């Protein structure tokens, strides 16, 4: 513990996997993805990994859905993480 | 897209809301600036969500002192950097609209009046969001907040948005610009331009807030985009007194912007018409039809 | 070199000799000439520093924080309302463990508005985590301010050097001014362990979540208590190099006295005069002066006054609703000690009201009476009060 509560490890927040926040997860269709990087650009975490196709870093993705909405070729679908039980 | 660098100086794992427009703005500001900076940040959503001991999202030197003094702290940093001969390191102050337009205005005015070599960036989500959505001096006319609620006697904010960029221009500083989280390459270009100037520069970024604007998290880019496309938010820069409107949209009606957000849901046709009139007046000033 | 300097000149010169690099400055009576002198030094090239004409004291301390955290020696000066305005940032500076030095010309607190001397201002921020050292005369202002930089940078605690407004700030006294190279041999280059630097990115000012805040507070308290040692060591080193020694408290004919005066600040000089007069008449009274008020020198004080029968604590401040700050801390020091002296608190000299020899003698008389009777009737008394005006007829 450093005097004055100084944090000397830059980016230590990456130890916190905020993916546990999600209710919906983005699924990128590799056949539709053109690797345009728009989802990567607009992801707040960031949780998109550039590539052919782009992929999601599910450790951090909070499921906001910006990527799905902004994707120009509609290659991303938001899928519910777990089925919801309806109360009787 | 090549203008957006690959470097990530704001680490994931931060506590910003899903879909937060402000943290995305931080991400791109840092990409534009690079690692040779010292960030002085005011208390607010961005500060609190990125620095709960012992976890920090910052991969650059970063200091938080209090709420109203980002500009004063950044000034002290800038002077020390000068004394230490670190001419390649830039002092950057970042604060929300509350910490800039209201409680932070004195320190900001003093710093730029002194000609401090700092870049000041205000991320404007149009209310005190960190404390749960209270109105600030830049909350737009008609908006619901918890301190401008919709009741029988009063309905929403009855004051216009305080014009921070104009206040900065009145100080005669070399560069003032507005930007938007929905227009990233424009934001990056402006941040880089401002940071390269030796002297006080100011950028005011319109950023979205999912809980504060009462919007769906996936609309956090589309809605600030609509703000620009309807003329509610004008993208411009002023370099040494010369105005350059960096984007002139073919304007859509203001209702396209207002109807997307729960904070404007209560507005009557009359109120929307009044807002349209104000937007028209503002756009005329900037030569936007 | 011996010079005729007022308290503010002494403070400014000390900062100059300490080679301060960033000076966020704001004027306030009666400190203003401190920053004016520094402005002159910088304008003439005598001091190579960034002189920031900030727009308020709150910004002055904020800029000190930014500069100190980046790696430059910072200094500012204030008083009264300015100290109050920056009080938020005082707590922040201490919590961040930044080695900032500030001189405070003690001035009363509004309301009612007052520009005149008392110690309410620095007393009001005694909880802030700043080391507080009180000076008796202008030589001590020079010497203590120089020592303050070493104390601050060794302990990672901000240090406030307090001295009476007008009485010292605006009164010229002969002061021995050390040479620059002598001071360079006493104060090493600025050091702070976590400077804001892209080579080694640190986060300063994190959120102190419930799982960690208490530990950081404990560390700060521990550092403050431990700084007593550093204050003594630096004082000893100062004596070695410059011939004038300083500690946590000063004893003046106190060891064999059963009636003692406990004082702080320039009032101590007048009180020492009274002690001399009593001693000349063969009456054994003595005085102990507190120099380090924060950290409060509990052990030293028990040692210095524990043997007395009665102690008159004379101070120019009052913690409203309770008693004088010095009295409260002195009395608390003895809470578990037996035997302990009877203690009486005398509030005097507020807003520059003259503290006359008659007032000090009254305090001595009351203490003597208490010692004789073995009890104290009224623990807190006001000296020099215009009693008729407040309906207290004698």
Classify the C-alpha dihedral B104-B109-B114-B115 as positive or negative. Answer: positive
Q: Which fold has domain B21-285?
A: Rossmann fold (3.40.50)
pLDDT of A54 above 70? yes
Using a CB-CB cut-off of 8 Å, the residues of chain B touching C52 are: 75-76, 79, 114
Strand pairing category for A55-56 and A76-80? unpaired
B105 touches chain C (CB under 8 A): no
Determine whether the interchain pair B75/C54 forms a contact, defined as Cβ–Cβ distance below 8 Å. Answer: yes
Q: For chain B, which ranges sit under pLDDT 50?
A: 1
Residue C206: closest CA among chain A residues belongs to which residue?
A: A5
Q: Tell me the two tokens of residue B115.
A: 């000609």
Secondary structure of chain C in the HEC alphabet? CEEEEEHHHHHHHHHHHCCCCEEEECCCCCCHHHHHHHHHHHHCCCCCCEEEECCCHHHHHHHHHHHHHHCCCEEEEECHHHHHHCHHHHHHHHHCCCCCEEEEEECCCCCCCCCCCCCHHHHHCCCCCCEEEECCCHHHHHHHHHHHHHHHHHHCCCEEEEEECCCCCCCEEEEECCCHHHHHCCCCCCCCCCCCCCCCCCEECCECCCCCHHHHHHHHHHHHHHHHHHHHHHHHHHHHHHCCCCCCEEEECCCCCCEEEEECCCHHHHHHHHHHHHHHCCCCEEEEEECEEECCCHHHHHHHHCCCCEEEEEECCCCCCCCCHHHHHHHHHCCCCCCCCEEEEEECCHHHCCCCHHHHHHHHHHHHHHHHHCCCCCCEEECCCCHHHHCCCC
Count CB neighbours of C273 within 10 A.
12
Which chain B residue shows the shortest CA-CA distance from A36?
Answer: B1
Quick: pLDDT tens for C286-330.
Answer: 999 999 999 999 999 999 999 999 999 999 999 999 999 999 999
Structure tokens at C95: 């919590």
Show the CA angle centred on residue B237, arms to residues B232 and B243, nearest 5°: 100
Contact state of A16 with B13 under an 8 Å Cβ cutoff: yes
**C242 falls in which pLDDT band (50, 70, 90)?**
very high
- Mean pLDDT in residue range C225-232: 98
| Shortest CA gap C41–chain A (Å) | 33
State how far the Cα of C226 lies from the Cα of C211, in Å rounded to an integer: 25
Q: Are A85 and A37 in contact (CB under 8 A)?
A: no
**Do the chains contact at C22 and B109, CB–CB below 8 Å?**
no
A5 touches chain C (CB under 8 A): yes
Range with lowest mean pLDDT among A82-86, B88-92, C87-91, C158-162 = A82-86
Domains and CATH numbers, chain C: 2-242 (3.40.50.970), 249-390 (3.40.50.920)
Of all residues in chain C, the one with the smallest CA distance to A4 is C96
What is the pLDDT, as a whole number, of residue C309? 98
Residue A70 has pLDDT above 50, yes or no: yes
pLDDT of the residue at B2: 59
Which of C93, C194, C199 to mutate against chain A (most A CBs within 10 Å)? C194
- Taking residues C66-92, report their average pLDDT: 98
What pLDDT score does B215 carry? 98
Query: In the complex, which subunits touch A with 3 or more CB pairs below 8 angstroms?
Result: B, C
Q: Which domains are delineated in chain A?
A: 16-80 (3.30.70.20)
In this prediction, residues C67-79 reach a mean pLDDT of 98
pTM over 0.95: yes
Q: Does B209 touch chain A (CB under 8 A)?
A: no
Number of Cβ within 10 Å of residue C355's Cβ equals: 22
Question: Which residues are CB-contacts of A83 (< 8 A; sequence separation ≥ 6)?
Answer: none
Cβ separation C66–B75 shorter than 8 A:
yes
- Residue B134 DSSP label: B
For the beta carbon of residue A20, count every other beta carbon within 10 angstroms. 10
Taking only residues 107 to 126 of chain B, the set having a beta carbon closer than 8 angstroms to any beta carbon of chain C reads: 107, 109-111, 113-114
B220 touches chain A (CB under 8 A): yes
**Mean pLDDT, all residues of chain C:** 97
- Give the closest-approach CA distance of A87 to chain B in angstroms: 25
Residue B103, Ramachandran bin (φ over 0: left; ψ between -120 and 50: alpha; else beta): alpha
Mutate to test the interface with A, among C153, C202, C211, C224 (most CBs of A within 10 A): C202
Q: Looking at CA atoms only, how far is residue A45 from chain B in angstroms?
A: 5
Kindly report, residue by residue over C143-170, the tens digit of the pLDDT.
999 999 999 999 999 999 999 999 999 9
Nearest to A10 among C201, C205, C216 (CB): C201
Inter-residue contact B178 to B235 (CB < 8 Å)? yes
Nearest Cα to Cα of residue B264 among B103, B127, B97: B127
Instruction: Find the CB nearest C62 among B48, B80, B107.
Output: B107
Confidence of residue A83 (pLDDT cuts 50, 70, 90): confident
pLDDT of residue C142: 98
Distances (CA, A) of C217 to C132, C223, C226: 18, 10, 14
Dihedral, CA atoms, C316, C318, C319, C323, nearest 10 degrees?
Answer: 120
pLDDT digits 0-9 by tens, B71-100: 999 999 999 999 999 999 999 999 999 999
Please indicate whether, in this complex, the C-beta atoms of A6 and C203 are within 8 angstroms of each other. yes
Furthest C-alpha separation in chain A: 56
Residue of A nearest to C94 (CA): A4
pLDDT confidence band for C392 (50 / 70 / 90): confident
Chains linked to C by 3 or more Cβ pairs within 8 Å: A, B
A21 touching chain B per CB within 8 A: yes
pLDDT of residue B1: 47
Nearest Cα neighbor of A41 from A49, A53, A33 is A49
pLDDT digits (tens, 9 = 90+) for C36-60: 999 999 999 999 999 999 999 999 9
Identify any residues that bridge with C311 across adjacent strands, giving them in sequence order.
C260, C343
Given a contact cutoff of 8 angstroms between Cβ atoms, the answer to whether C310 and C259 are in contact is yes
Considering only residues B3 and A3, tell me which one the structure prediction assigns the higher pLDDT.
A3
Contacts of A71 in chain B (CB under 8 A): none
Mean predicted confidence (pLDDT) in C201-213:
98
Write the CB contacts of C245 (distance below 8 Å, at least 6 apart in sequence): C235, C236, C238, C239
């Amino acid at each position: 513990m450093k005097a004055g509560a100084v944090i000397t490890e830059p980016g230590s927040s990456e130890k916190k996997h905020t993916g546990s926040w999600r209710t919906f997860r983005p699924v990128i269709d590799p056949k539709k993805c053109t690797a345009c990087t728009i989802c990567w650009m607009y992801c707040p975490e960031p949780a998109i990994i550039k590539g052919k196709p782009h992929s999601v870093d599910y450790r951090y993705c909070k499921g906001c859905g910006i990527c799905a909405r902004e994707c120009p070729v509609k290659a991303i679908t938001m899928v519910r993480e777990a089925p919801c039980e309806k109360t009787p | 897209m090549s203008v957006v660098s690959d470097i990530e100086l704001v680490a994931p794992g931060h506590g910003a809301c899903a879909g937060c427009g402000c943290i995305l703005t931080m991400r791109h500001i840092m990409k534009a600036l690079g690692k040779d900076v010292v960030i002085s940040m005011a208390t607010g959503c961005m500060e609190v969500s990125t620095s709960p001991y012992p976890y920090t999202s910052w991969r650059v030197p970063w200091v938080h002192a209090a709420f109203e003094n980002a500009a004063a702290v950044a000034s002290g940093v800038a002077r020390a950097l000068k004394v230490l001969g670190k001419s390649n390191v830039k002092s950057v102050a970042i604060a929300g609209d509350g910490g800039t337009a209201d409680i932070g205005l004195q320190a900001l005015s003093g710093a730029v009046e002194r000609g401090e070599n700092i870049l000041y960036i205000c991320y404007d989500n149009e209310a005190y969001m960190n404390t749960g959505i209270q109105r600030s001096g830049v909350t737009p006319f008609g908006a619901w907040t918890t301190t401008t609620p919709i009741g029988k006697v009063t309905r929403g904010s009855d004051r216009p948005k305080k014009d921070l960029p104009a206040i900065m221009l009145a100080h005669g500083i070399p560069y003032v610009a507005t930007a938007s989280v929905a227009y990233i390459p424009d934001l990056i270009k402006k941040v880089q331009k401002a940071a390269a100037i030796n002297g006080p520069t100011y950028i005011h970024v319109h950023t979205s807030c999912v809980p504060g604007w009462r919007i769906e998290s996936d609309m956090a880019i589309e809605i600030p985009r609509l703000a620009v496309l309807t003329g509610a938010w004008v993208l411009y820069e002023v370099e040494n007194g010369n105005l350059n409107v960096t984007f002139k949209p073919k304007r859509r009606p203001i209702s396209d912007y207002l109807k997307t957000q729960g904070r404007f849901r209560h507005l009557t046709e009359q109120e929307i018409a009044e807002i349209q009139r104000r937007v028209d007046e503002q756009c005329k000033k900037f030569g936007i039809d | 070199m011996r010079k005729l300097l007022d308290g503010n000149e002494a403070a400014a010169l000390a900062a100059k000799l300490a080679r301060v690099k960033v000076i966020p400055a704001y004027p306030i009576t009666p400190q203003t000439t401190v920053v004016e002198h520094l402005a002159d030094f910088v304008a003439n090239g005598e001091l190579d520093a960034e002189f920031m004409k900030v727009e308020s004291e709150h910004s002055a301390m904020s800029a000190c924080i930014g500069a100190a955290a980046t790696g430059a020696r910072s200094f500012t000066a204030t008083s009264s309302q300015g100290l109050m305005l920056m009080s938020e940032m005082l707590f922040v500076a201490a919590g961040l463990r930044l080695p900032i030095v500030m001189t405070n010309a003690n001035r009363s607190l509004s309301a009612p508005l007052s520009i005149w001397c008392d110690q309410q201002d620095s007393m009001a921020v005694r909880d802030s985590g700043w080391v507080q050292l009180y000076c008796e005369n202008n030589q001590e202002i020079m010497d203590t301010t120089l020592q303050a930089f070493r104390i601050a940078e060794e302990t990672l605690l901000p240090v406030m050097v307090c001295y009476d407004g007008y009485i010292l700030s605006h009164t010229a006294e002969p002061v021995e001014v050390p040479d620059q190279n002598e001071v360079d041999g006493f104060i090493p280059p600025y050091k702070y362990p976590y400077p804001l630097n892209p080579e080694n990115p640190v986060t300063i000012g994190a959120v102190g979540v419930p799982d960690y805040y208490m530990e950081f507070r404990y560390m700060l308290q521990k550092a403050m208590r431990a700084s007593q040692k550093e204050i003594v060591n630096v004082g000893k080193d100062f004596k070695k190099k410059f011939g004038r020694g300083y500690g946590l408290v000063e004893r003046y004919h106190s060891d064999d006295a059963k009636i003692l005066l406990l004082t702080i600040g320039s009032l101590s000089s007048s009180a020492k005069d009274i002690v001399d007069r009593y001693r000349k008449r063969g009456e054994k009274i003595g005085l102990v002066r507190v120099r380090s008020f924060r950290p409060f020198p509990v052990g030293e004080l028990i040692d210095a006054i524990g043997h007395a029968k009665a102690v008159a604590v004379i101070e120019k401040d009052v913690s409203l609703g309770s008693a004088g700050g010095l009295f409260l801390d002195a009395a608390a020091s003895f809470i578990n000690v037996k035997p302990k002296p009877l203690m009486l608190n005398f509030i005097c000299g507020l807003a520059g009201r003259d503290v006359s020899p008659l007032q000090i003698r009254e305090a001595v008389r009351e203490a003597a009476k208490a010692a004789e009777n073995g009890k104290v009737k009224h623990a807190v008394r006001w000296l020099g009060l215009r009693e008729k005006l407040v309906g207290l007829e004698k």
